[in-house]
Amino acid sequence: MTQPKFPRCPTATPKESETMRLLSPPTSSPLLSTTTSRTTSRTISPGPLPLVLRLLVTGFLIMSSSRTGLVSAGTFDAVKDAECASPNTICLTSFRWCTRDPQSKKGCSYPDDIDAFFPGSDTVPYAMLYHGSKYDITWKQAKPGVPVLIEWLFSSNLVQAGDHRDDHGGGELEVKWSTNTTGSSYTFDPLAILGTFPTSQAPNMSTWEAIASTHDASNHIRISQPGANGDGAPPSVSLTAPSATVGRATLGGANRSVSDQFLVHSRWTEQFVRNVQAYDATLYGQQQRNWQIGVGAGIGIGVPLLVTLAWFVGHRLGTRAGYDIAAKAARREYVRRDTSS
């Protein structure tokens, strides 16, 4: 019985075999090839192309993240970066918007419902609070079982943000309102509190006088535990003490912490600020869209150029990396055309 004869496959020419070798993925790493193969007289080197591609990708990510905010320097966090006088003293974890460390680069950070009075300033930590909004006063390291005294201090004499007051110009802040709590936080409602005036600390100040007085930058929140260490009443806060800086009051004694300065304004002021912010956001959004269009066009032009450059470098230097990129691009283009046809 005779065996059937099958047609023999045509033998590839040397030139076709070389082309197939270049378009096929590598079977071993360049490093392995240089250490195990003793028959080749020329070692395969990855060449400069992978490094160039990595630099291009890194540069693109940095450029895009600088606009989208993916990469940013550390910003001040009132909870994580709470600056306590010692490990055993109470300290605020809110109502502090800027770092007090002159060597720190974290600057200022304001919650969504609080605005910076001087946007972009890292040296004058004034904040804008508004009537009708509520704010959480939080702290840590309080001594258990001892009530926390919360005080609102401001001046009867109007003070402009950034002004220095002399000893004869009402430089001493005064406690105008206070309360005690055994909780771990307190909800601060400025307008509701102002509606309770006159208070025992300010018996001659009406509600309207209190509202007018809190429009300036003299407002502070102070928390303390007077009975924690057997100390007496909290001392007064002065902005004119030798160690004081504009925007931050000094506070002596143990188990006490004072906030950054703030102003309290009406809902009309808040709405005005929101309108300005919305207008700025609209302008920024248009700039962002224009930037994205530019980046998209750059990518559309840049990718073909990179593929061409990779093939050229690989062809000229004889590196496997350049050939691999060109081969992958050719295979993807072939598959795309084959599926679309």
DSSP string, 62-91: HHHHHHHTSS------TTTT---SSTTS-E
Helix (H) or strand (E) holding 128: strand 127-130
Q: What is the pLDDT along the chain (341 residues), one digit of tens a residue?
A: 555 554 554 555 555 555 445 444 454 444 444 444 444 444 445 555 555 555 555 554 444 444 443 333 466 565 566 677 778 889 899 998 887 666 666 678 888 888 888 776 666 678 999 999 999 999 998 999 899 999 999 987 754 444 444 433 345 678 999 999 999 899 999 999 999 999 999 999 999 999 999 988 889 999 999 877 655 554 444 443 323 333 344 444 557 899 989 999 998 888 888 887 787 777 767 666 665 555 455 545 555 555 555 555 555 555 555 555 555 655 555 555 556 55
Cα gap 182→167, rounded to integer Å: 36
CA distance linking residue 47 with residue 315, whole number of Å: 11
161 torsion bin: left (phi>0), alpha (psi -120 to 50), beta (else): beta
What is the pLDDT at residue 216? 86
What are residue 136's phi and psi, to 5 degrees? -90, 125
C-alpha dihedral, 257 to 263 to 269 to 273, nearest 10°: -60
Residues 84 and 100: their CA atoms lie apart, in Å, by 11
